[in-house]
């Protein structure tokens, strides 16, 4: 989490730093800060704010902050409460440091630095880096060498940028476990946590690897490995469209991203646009061998991406006939499991930078599982570089913290995987393959029709805004959709929401049901509908108010205490993709009624690059 930007250029970099932070706010927004060097000899100016980047911008304007060399940071608090004293950059002597990640041995370092006289002014782990570099600078006068030496004492994850008051010509950056890239501009060089922050100045990016340390100056850049060996990293022309990260006519990114789903799905499915048959090559050059030889599947992910994996398990077992387990990455990486080398490990991640998912993948590989696939929305991400196979969802940048279009495009990718696995295992005849492809191609249009239900959903939202708790129910592959609906509601409206497989209701949660507890049911017209209806009666009999998302052809009737909204189509195996959309819209509108910060809900961040 946290976002960093750094710039050394032949112009005032303050506007570049601020614009970069604005693009990185999705990574955390507990505080923002910057430091710039100006003049000769250079004077260091530091500004910090517990508010958003807009407040930092106002501060910078008020004092006409300017300088050709600068670093900046937007924070997601891990060590120390959100406050000005804990906001980055942190200083030591004439040094300024910004950091994304966690220094795990910060307590031991803090004690040893205090023992030699350093006084700490924050509760952060980052401040030890500033003092450590300052200490080493006394014996190693070159900043690049000093930072490299200091890195040897750090344990944990970091992306760092360090600059020094008496040398405005350079900034030193380093990466270990947290994303960092360099930008090559016309008039200078830059660094940032992701490409969106630098599109304003360049499209030419250099992605650093873990263990890299680099020096950026106005004229160039220099990268070395941990042992000091120089290394050249490829220059990549970013394909990210600058428009894609603009809000346009929408009120919020979440709204924009919900409504972008038909296009996001069409783009993701473009590769099967005209196809009459499915090719394993969709997942990479070696896919036929890697997928075909898999004996079972293990899906690893976090948050919404984990929910996508849970839906996929129903598909993979029922359609492809392959055993599949789905684990929360942060649990898997720390438990003793029974590895099977012929397992296909599927990691799912919007960002491709989620620390737990990356670590779970490493753990699985360490246990001997080399058949690995990433389903990811960011082609340049760390995750994609670490798996044998990859499928890039083409949702476009997702800025809203609550994931929407990333989820539905992940589902589309996972359905493609299911069909490819089914085909490789001889469970998909040619006629069914053609039908399945046709059904997939219709998904964007089907989602478009669901979006047209917004006015009715908006009306329902009014009924939820004063509620404290909500239950979501689903069965089969729609149980994970209920989980996702509950996650969306709690994330952005702060209403406590729980999801249950409807059959579990009588084993506990029914005790919670009374007239104050609205119950939302995901009720597609599938084989489990009759059973679900019985579960809903159990709720109604206890006075619970039901909100049912049914299909066009379901016999669900509105009556007192039972509200029914019908989706335009009944969509078989793919209906999970449709049924999540009204739940996204409902959360969005409840949040609007409650007046919460939809795109930046409290305490959360989009890209969780710490454990
Ligand atoms: C955070 C985000 C969620 C996301 C999860 C996993 O918690 O707020 O929306 O689902 O991280 O992120 P990933 O990028 O790995 O999908």
On the question of pLDDT at 435 being above 90, the answer is yes
Q: Could you count the other beta carbons within 10 Å of the beta carbon of residue 15?
A: 15
- pLDDT at residue 152 in the model: 94
Does residue 594 sit in helix, strand or coil? helix
Question: How many angstroms separate the CA atoms of 129 and 119, rounded?
Answer: 13
Q: Rounded to whole angstroms, how far apart are CA atoms 111 and 91? A: 18
Which of 607, 609, 611 to mutate to test ligand 1, by most ligand atoms within 8 A of the CB atom? 607
DSSP letter for each residue of 149-177: HHHTT--EEEEEEEEETTEEEEEEEEEEB
Cα(327) to ligand 1 centroid in Å equals 15
Q: Whose C-alpha lies nearest to ligand 1, atom 1?
A: 606
Give the pairing type, strands 545-551 and 518-523.
parallel
Per-residue pLDDT, averaged over 275-285, amounts to 86
The predicted pLDDT at position 569 comes to: 81
The two tokens of residue 421 are 């696995």
Distances (CA, A) of 611 to 156, 215, 235, 353: 10, 28, 30, 11
Instruction: Give the helix/strand (H/E) hosting 376.
Output: strand 371-376
Sheet containing strand 31-38, strands side by side? 43-49, 31-38, 69-75, 3-9, 188-192, 181-184, 204-207, 235-237
- CA of residue 516 to ligand 1 center, whole Å: 31
Atom of ligand 1 nearest to the CA of 605: 8
Task: Copy the structure tokens of residue 73.
Answer: 């940071």
**Statement: residue 41 has pLDDT above 70:** no
For residue 271, what pLDDT band results from cuts at 50, 70 and 90? confident
Q: How far does CA 544 lie from the centroid of its chain?
A: 35
Kindly report, residue by residue over 531-581, the tens digit of the pLDDT: 877 877 887 888 888 999 998 877 777 888 889 999 988 788 999 999 999
207 phi and psi angles, rounded to 5 deg:
-85, 125
pLDDT at 576: 95
pLDDT digits (tens, 9 = 90+) for 387-428: 999 999 989 889 898 999 999 999 999 999 999 999 999 999
Decide if 2 is catalytic. Answer: yes
Q: What's the CA-to-centroid distance between 405 and ligand 1, angstroms?
A: 12
Distance CA 346, CA 310 (A): 12
What gap in Å lies between CA 591 and CA 484, rounded to an integer? 16
Ligand 1 pocket residue status of 354, Cβ below 6 Å: yes
Asked if residue 401 has its Cβ within 6 Å of ligand 1, the reply is: yes
Q: At what angle do helices 405-424 and 261-268 cross, to 10 degrees?
A: 30
pLDDT band at 242 (very low <50, low <70, confident <90, very high): low
- The mean pLDDT of 303-308, rounded to a whole number, is 98
Is 606 noted as a catalytic residue in this protein? yes
- pLDDT (average), residues 319-326: 98
For 208-223, the pLDDT digits (tens) are 998 999 999 999 999 9
Ligand 1 closest atom vs CA 491? 8
Query: Which residues lie across from 207 on neighbouring strands?
Result: 181
> How do 213-217 and 167-176 pair as beta strands?
antiparallel
pLDDT of residue 272: 80
pLDDT tens string 345-372 = 999 999 999 999 999 999 999 999 999 9
Alpha-helical regions (H) of 393-550 = 405-424, 430-451, 454-464, 479-493, 529-541
Rounded CA Rg of the chain: 25
pLDDT, mean over the chain: 92
Q: Are 350 and 375 in contact (CB under 8 A)?
A: no
Domains of the chain: 3-245 (3.60.20.10), 253-447 (3.40.50.10490), 454-594 (3.40.50.10490)
Percent of the chain topping pLDDT 90? 73
Residue located nearest, by CA, to atom 9 of ligand 1: 403
Phi, psi of 415 (to 5 degrees): -70, -40
How far apart CA 479 and CA 526 sit, in angstroms, is 13
Instruction: Summarize pLDDT for 499-532 with one digit per residue, the tens.
Output: 999 888 888 888 888 888 899 999 888 877 788 7
The pair of structure tokens assigned to 65 is 């902050």
What is the tens place of the pLDDT at every residue in 455-471? Answer: 999 999 998 888 899 99
Residue 377 in contact with ligand 1 by CB distance below 6 A: no
Determine the average pLDDT of the residues in 429-451: 94
Taking the CA of residue 402 as reference, the ligand 1 atom at the shortest distance is 9
378 Cα–ligand 1 center, Å: 13
**472-490 confidence digits (pLDDT tens):** 999 999 999 999 999 999 9
Q: Give pTM, 2 decimals.
A: 0.80
In this structure, which residue's CA is closest to atom 2 in ligand 1?
606
Calpha distance 459→461 (Å, rounded): 5
Q: Which whole-number Å values give the CA distances from 116 to 143, 334, 351, in the listed order?
A: 21, 37, 41
Question: Residue 40's pLDDT band (boundaries 50, 70, 90)?
Answer: low
Q: Is the CB of 302 under 6 A from ligand 1?
A: yes
By three-state DSSP, how is residue 100 classified?
A: strand
Per-residue confidence (pLDDT) for residue 206, from 0 to 100 = 96
**Is the pLDDT reported for residue 498 higher than 70?**
yes
| Ligand 1 site-directed mutation target among 2, 26, 28, 304, most atoms within 8 Å of CB | 304
pLDDT band for position 1 (50/70/90)? low
Are 464 and 435 in contact by the 8 Å Cβ rule? The answer is no
- Closest residue by Cα to residue 404 from 606, 608, 574: 606
Q: What is the pLDDT of residue 287?
A: 92
């Amino acid at each position: 989490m946290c976002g960093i930007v750094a710039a050394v250029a032949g112009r005032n970099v303050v506007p570049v730093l601020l614009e970069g932070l604005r693009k990185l706010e999705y990574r955390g927004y507990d505080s923002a800060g910057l430091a710039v060097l100006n003049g000769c000899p250079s004077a260091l100016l530091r500004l910090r704010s517990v508010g958003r980047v807009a407040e930092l911008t106002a501060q910078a304007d008020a004092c006409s902050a300017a300088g050709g060399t600068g670093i900046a940071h937007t924070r997601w608090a891990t060590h120390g409460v959100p406050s000005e004293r804990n906001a980055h950059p942190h200083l030591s002597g004439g040094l300024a440091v910004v950091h994304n990640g966690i220094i795990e041995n910060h307590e031991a370092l803090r004690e040893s630095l205090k023992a030699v006289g350093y006084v700490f002014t924050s509760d952060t782990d980052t401040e030890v880096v500033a003092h450590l570099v300052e200490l080493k600078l006394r014996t190693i006068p070159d900043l690049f060498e000093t930072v490299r030496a200091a890195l040897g004492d750090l344990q944990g994850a970091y992306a760092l940028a360090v600059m020094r008051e008496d040398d405005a010509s350079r900034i030193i950056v380093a990466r270990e476990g947290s994303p960092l890239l360099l930008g090559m501009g016309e008039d200078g060089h830059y660094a940032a946590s992701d490409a969106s922050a630098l599109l304003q100045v360049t499209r030419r990016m250099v992605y650093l690897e873990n263990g890299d340390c680099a020096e950026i100056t106005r004229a160039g850049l220099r990268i070395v490995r941990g042992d000091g060996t120089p290394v050249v990293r490829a220059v990549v022309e970013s394909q990210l469209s600058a428009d894609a990260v603009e809000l346009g006519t929408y009120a919020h990114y979440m709204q924009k991203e919900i409504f972008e789903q038909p296009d996001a799905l069409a783009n993701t499915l473009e590769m099967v646009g005209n196809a009459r048959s499915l090719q394993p090559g969709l997942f990479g050059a070696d896919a036929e061998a890697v997928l075909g030889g898999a004996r079972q599947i293990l899906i690893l992910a976090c948050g919404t991406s984990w929910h996508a994996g849970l839906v996929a398990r129903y598909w993979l077992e029922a359609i492809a006939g392959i055993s599949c387990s789905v684990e929360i990455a942060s649990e898997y990486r720390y438990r003793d499991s029974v590895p099977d080398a012929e397992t296909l490990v599927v990691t799912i991640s919007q960002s491709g930078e989620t620390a737990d998912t990356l670590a779970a993948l490493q753990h699985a590989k360490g246990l001997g599982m080399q058949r690995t696939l990433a389903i990811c929305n960011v082609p340049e991400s760390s995750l994609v570089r670490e798996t044998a196979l990859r499928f890039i969802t083409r949702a476009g940048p997702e800025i809203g913290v609550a994931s929407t279009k990333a989820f539905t495009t992940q589902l589309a990718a996972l359905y493609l995987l299911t069909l490819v696995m089914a085909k490789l295992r001889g469970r998909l005849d040619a006629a069914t393959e053609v039908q399945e492809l046709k059904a997939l191609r219709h998904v964007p249009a089907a989602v478009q029709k669901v979006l047209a239900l917004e006015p009715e959903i908006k009306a329902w939202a009014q009924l939820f805004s004063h509620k404290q708790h909500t239950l979501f129910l689903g069965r089969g592959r729609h149980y994970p959709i209920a989980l996702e609906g509950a996650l969306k509601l709690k994330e952005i409206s702060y209403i406590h929401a729980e999801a249950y497989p409807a059959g579990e209701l009588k084993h506990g949660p029914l005790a919670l049901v009374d007239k104050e507890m609205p119950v939302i049911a995901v009720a597609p017209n599938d084989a489990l509908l009759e059973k679900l209806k019985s579960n809903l009666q159990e709720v109604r009999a206890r006075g619970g108010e039901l909100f049912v998302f049914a299909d066009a052809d379901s016999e669900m009737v509105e009556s007192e205490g039972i509200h029914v909204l019908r989706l335009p189509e009944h969509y078989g195996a793919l209906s999970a993709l449709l049924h999540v959309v009204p739940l996204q819209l409902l959360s969005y509108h409840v949040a609007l009624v409650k007046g919460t910060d939809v795109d930046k809900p409290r305490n959360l961040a989009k890209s969780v690059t710490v454990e």
